[in-house]
Copies of this chain bind each other. A is one copy, B any other.
Amino acid sequence: MDFLKGFTDEINSAIMNYLTEKEPAKLYDAVKYLPAAGGKRLRPIMAMLACEAAGGERRKAIPFGIALEITHTFTLIHDDIMDRDEERRGMPSVHKKFGEATAILAGDALFAKAFEIVTETESSSDAIKKLVKNLAVMSREICEGQEMDMSFEESDEVSEDDFLLMIEKKTAKMFEHAALGGAIISGADEEKQAALQNYGRNVGMAFQIWDDCLDVIGKGIGKPVGSDIREGKKTLIFIHAMRESDEKERLKEIYGKKDMTDDELNEVISILKRAGSIDYAKDMAMNFSKIARENLKELEESKAREMLEKIAIFAVEREK
């Protein structure tokens, strides 16, 4: 992702200018904790590039992009509370560091801040109204995705369709709205808006499915290889194997088993491989990436379009 470093730096320095409140100190320390910790900033970058690729000035998409990044952060803070995750980006999670009550509030305050920032977009009031509505609907869909994800934990049978709907809501929608938002801010026509919207969603799907693949084949994505398997997470890979494998019974027995041994972990991976489930997920991720790149063909060639293509490729070539 070296080709994006300049953008990442730009967002990293801009984001803290939107988070200048200080009192009550405990609340705002919690609010700034994750945004200050950096990150790839893919969502704002996508908004900026989409704006430019659609013919606009990319700097105009910065506030909206930051609003998305802040919304993303808010969902991470609340998800960590729900999932009892004590770590995030190698640091204690917000609720671990500031207590659960302040973590809930910090998430709420960030979410409010996101809408505040959108209203500062250098765009027509009509465009801002659209951006606000999209941000609101998207955020609600993220909640739906998280609720589905939690319900999958207690469910024996998760269908592939339900799984794909869940990741679309929980992850892909935000990429969809990053690209669509950039297009709206650029003032592009509806066709270009739709092309970029589709591009964003497809990239988001590719990213999430590839994440699941990396858990099995990768060098770790900030967590030990096989964590999904140890946690019994219903990934696309598992769902495929439970449908196609000849070794379903054994898989069900050891997948997500408490205190799984390394041998058992390797056995699960072997079963997933034999069922073709890892290849199935990889192919699907690559297919989403390919469609995303096709979506871009609605736009004229440009440096920004090229970078959006690279992001779609990066989504399924990265090793962490």
Which residues 170-227 of A sit at the B interface, judged by CB distance below 8 A?
Answer: none
Q: List 26 A-B contacts (CB under 8 A).
A: A23-B144, A24-B148, A26-B151, A27-B147, A82-B101, A82-B104, A82-B105, A102-B150, A106-B143, A107-B108, A108-B108, A108-B143, A109-B140, A112-B136, A112-B137, A112-B143, A114-B136, A115-B132, A115-B136, A119-B129, A119-B132, A124-B125, A125-B125, A125-B128, A128-B132, A129-B132
For A135, what are the chain B residues with a Cβ–Cβ distance below 8 Å? 115
Task: Give the CA-CA distance A104 to B132 in the complex, in Å.
Answer: 22
Question: Does A119 lie within 8 Å of B136, measured CB to CB?
Answer: yes
Residues on B with beta carbons closer than 8 Å to the beta carbon of A15: none
Which chain A residues numbered 86 to 126 have a C-beta less than 8 Å away from chain B?
A: 100-102, 104-109, 111-116, 118-119, 124-126
CA distance A143 to B26 in the complex (A): 12
Q: A112-B139, A116-B136 are in contact. Are A27 and B144 (CB under 8 A)?
A: yes
Chain A contact residues: helix, strand, loop or mixed: helix
A305 on interface, CB distance cutoff 8 Å: no
- Give, as a whole number of angstroms, the nearest-CB distance from A99 to chain B: 9
Does A303 sit at the interface, judged by CB under 8 A?
no
Q: Is A310 an interface residue (CB 8 A)?
A: no
- B residues near A27, Cβ cutoff 8 Å: 143-144, 147
Instruction: Give A33 Cβ to nearest chain B Cβ, in Å.
Output: 14
Any chain B CB within 8 A of the CB of A78?
yes
Please report which residues of chain A, range 48-94, place their CB below 8 angstroms from some CB of chain B when the two chains form the complex.
78, 81-82
Q: Confirm or deny: A289 has a beta carbon within 8 angstroms of a beta carbon on chain B.
A: no
User: Closest approach, in angstroms, between the C-beta of A264 and any C-beta of chain B?
Assistant: 29
Does A243 lie at the interface of the complex (its beta carbon under 8 Å from any beta carbon of B)? Answer: no
Nearest to A24 among chain B residues (CB) is: B147
Seen from chain A, the residues whose Cβ lies within 8 Å of a Cβ on chain B are 21, 23-24, 26-27, 78, 81-82, 100-102, 104-109, 111-116, 118-119, 124-126, 128-129, 132-133, 135-137, 139-140, 143-144, 146-148, 150-151
Q: So how many copies of this chain end up in the complex?
A: 2
Kindly provide the distance from the CB of A133 to the nearest chain B CB, expressed in whole angstroms.
Answer: 4
A23, A124, A144 — most chain B CB neighbours (10 Å): A144
Chain B residues with Cβ under 8 A from A116's Cβ? 133, 136-137, 140
CA distance A107 to B78 in the complex (A): 11
Let me know if B101 and A150 touch, CB within 8 A.
yes
Extra A-B contacts (16), CB below 8 Å, given A23-B144, A81-B104? A24-B148, A24-B151, A81-B100, A82-B100, A82-B101, A82-B105, A102-B147, A109-B139, A115-B115, A115-B136, A116-B136, A116-B137, A125-B128, A125-B129, A128-B129, A129-B132
Question: Measured between alpha carbons, how far is A127 from B137 in the docked complex, in Å?
Answer: 20
Contacts of A137 in B (CB 8 A): 112, 116
The interface residues of chain B lying within 8 Å CB-to-CB of A140 are 21, 109, 112-113, 116
